[in-house]
Amino acid sequence: MPVNNTHPDYDAALPVWIRARDLLGGEDAIKAAGEKYLPKLESQSEEEYQATRRERCFSTPRPARWRVTWG
């Protein structure tokens, strides 16, 4: 296989790896991705969309191993 080709399994997994890297990068990485994770609504102007990107908070649920259980 030439060096400039990738294996189909690699190609299939790449979007998942990119999404995981973006999530680990936190809010800055998610906001930098723009419309990939926060699509612009048809009714929004560019200024409204940029304001939405600035003002929205990004968070993920804590991993199960961090959850505290009571009882």
Cβ neighbours for 26, distance < 8 A, ≥ 6 positions apart: 58
pTM of the entire predicted model: 0.66
Asked whether the predicted pLDDT for residue 71 surpasses 60, the reply is no
- The confidence score (pLDDT) of residue 65 equals 57
Give residue 15's identity as a one-letter amino acid code: P
